[in-house]
A and B are shown apart, each in its own frame.
Chain A
Amino acid sequence: SYVLTQPPSVSVAPGQTARITCGGNNIGTKSVHWYQQRPGQAPVLVVYDDSDRPSEIPERFSGSNSGNTATLTISRVEAGDEADYYCQVWDTSSDHPFGGGTKLTVL
């Protein structure tokens, strides 16, 4: 079974850069998607296919994927970025395409 591993939490001060990782065996060969979920709201797609961004998502959100780690990078973090973030990968050997989620705290 293919497992995606995310850190439970990441903390960053406003204006700094947050990096949220998603680990998986040879994840660099797969397409990774990232979602933001604010409290009480549905998830919102922020990065798809490793590094593409929906038109309505700020350029501060970017993604990369290589080797065994994919990374969501949020530059110039704002208070409104505080949320849970999930990575997602489709793999035929897994019934859990979502990572466990990372809570981003803006200090």
Chain B
Amino acid sequence: QLQLQESGPGLMKPSETLSLTCTVSGGSISSGNFYWGWIRQPPGKGLEWIGSVYDRESTYYSPSLKRRVTISIDTSKNQFSLKLSSVTAADTAIYYCARHIGIGAFDYWGQGTLVTVSS
């Protein structure tokens, strides 16, 4: 059974760069035509797609976050990562990592990790 697990700091200060890692177990991150994505959910609000990575040359970002986001993949560690620069309180959210196939559904999700941005 494929499992995804997010890890990273729970508390950050404004202007810092958020770094999260998603570790994939129960399957290889480089097998199959899968995309690996990040989605976030501010407290009490809906889901927001941040971006996805297919391989080292193929990344796709939400236009509204593109200037601040970098998603990378490390097949040797079976991990993919999210960097979000210049965070503000508006970036406070639960961050999920998930798998999808092209324009397909997100079929496996991590449990999510809460990131709070506060001075």
Contact = CB atoms under 8 A, between A and B. Distances in A.
30 contacts: A31-B104, A33-B104, A33-B105, A33-B106, A42-B96, A42-B109, A42-B110, A42-B111, A43-B96, A43-B109, A45-B105, A45-B106, A48-B104, A48-B105, A48-B107, A54-B107, A88-B47, A88-B106, A90-B102, A95-B62, A95-B63, A95-B65, A96-B48, A96-B49, A97-B49, A98-B48, A98-B49, A99-B46, A101-B46, A101-B47
A90 B51 CA distance: 12
Interface in A34-60: 35, 42-45, 48-49, 54
Given A95-B62, A95-B63, A31 B103 contact: yes
Nearest to B104: A48
A104 B65 CA distance: 30
Q: Please classify how large the interface on chain A is, using the bins under 10, 10 to 19, 20 to 34, 35 or more.
A: 20 to 34
Contact of A35 (B102, B106, B110): B106
A90 B96 contact: no
Closest 9 CB pairs of A and B: A33-B105, A48-B105, A90-B103, A95-B62, A98-B47, A95-B63, A42-B109, A101-B46, A95-B64
B2 to A, nearest CB: 13
Contacts of B49: 95-98
Nearest to A43: B109
Interface in A60-98: 86, 88, 90, 95-98
Contacts of A48: 104-105, 107
Interface in B45-74: 46-49, 62-65
Nearest to B107: A45
A97 B109 CA distance: 16
A98 B107 contact: no
Contacts of B64: 95
A100 interface: yes
Contacts of B104: 31, 33, 48-49
